[in-house]
Amino acid sequence: MIITIAIDGPSAAGKSTVAKGVAKKLGFVYVDTGAMYRCVTLYALRQGVDCQDDEKVVSLLKDINIELLKDGRVMLNNEDVTKEIRCQDVVLNVSYIAANKGVRLFLVDLQRKMGSNVSVVMDGRDIGTYVFPNATVKIFQVADVHERAIRRHKENLLKGIECTLEDVEKDLERRDYIDSHREFAPLKQASDAVLVDTTHMSIDEAIDAMTNIVLNKVGNINGK
Ligand code: DC
């Protein structure tokens, strides 16, 4: 049986770390859909295209090939862009790219293909509401914006990205707003999603909580 687990929620709620952990525990494939929007953003920036020019961005899609490798590397036209898609320029522009309906249709198609014949844990903003409305398990992962900013600020400093906590929090609020107010497939909790607030959870606690939600719903998977 193919099982699809959708984990949605706002930026920097720790979705990718937790989704990766759940996928590892259950032996499923992890699909980071945010990385795909970031790849399109990086490509548009490299081509000198204004990320708010929807038509021009859509015209680039035919030249874009995105692969998510099993070892976690993100490939854009056969180039490893795993690190580059996390840079500040991409962060500042990705919400405009994610609000572009043409881009979304292109990437949703790819995401549906990725989940069509293997069990996946897919994280994003619209997985339970739009990409896989019939997902086996839907989780909406949230955390207080200040806590999210503290986590992201720490990560940035470790990566050598200079920033203030205040700016990180403002940027998260800005992205939350754009992501949840866009016209097409906005960020919102699916009516049948389980809400998990990870504000006061460690990463391991969040992984255990979500793995338990999955196992309660689908029963034992391969004795796990
Ligand atoms: O999860 P992330 O921070 O890597 O996502 C980057 C951006 O892409 C973020 O602004 C939200 C958007 N996104 C989206 O709109 N839909 C998805 N399924 C995944 C990400």
> Is the CB of 33 within 6 Å of ligand 1?
yes
Strand partners, 196: 141
Is residue 192 domain-resident? Answer: yes
Is residue 217 domain-resident? Answer: no
> Is the CB of 148 within 6 Å of ligand 1?
no
Report the domain count for the chain. Answer: 1
Is residue 170 domain-resident? Answer: yes
CATH number at residue 180: 3.40.50.300
> Is the CB of 39 within 6 Å of ligand 1?
no
pTM to 2 decimals? 0.93
69 lies in which domain range?
A: 4-203
Q: What CA–CA distance (Å, rounded) separates 154 from 175?
A: 19
Note down pLDDT in tens along the chain; length 224 residues. Answer: 899 999 999 999 989 999 999 999 999 999 999 999 999 999 999 999 999 999 999 999 999 999 999 899 999 999 999 999 988 899 889 999 999 999 999 999 999 999 999 999 999 999 999 999 999 999 999 999 999 999 999 988 988 888 899 999 999 999 899 889 999 999 999 999 999 999 999 999 999 999 999 999 988 665 55
Q: Which residue has the tokens 């006061």?
A: 200
Q: What CA–CA distance (Å, rounded) separates 27 from 224?
A: 10
Is residue 135 domain-resident? Answer: yes
Instruction: At 133, give phi and psi (nearest 5°).
Output: -65, -20
124 Cα–ligand 1 center, Å: 6
Q: What CA–CA distance (Å, rounded) separates 66 from 100?
A: 17
Rg of the chain, C-alpha, whole Å: 17
For residues 59 and 47, the answer to whether their CB atoms sit within 8 Å is no
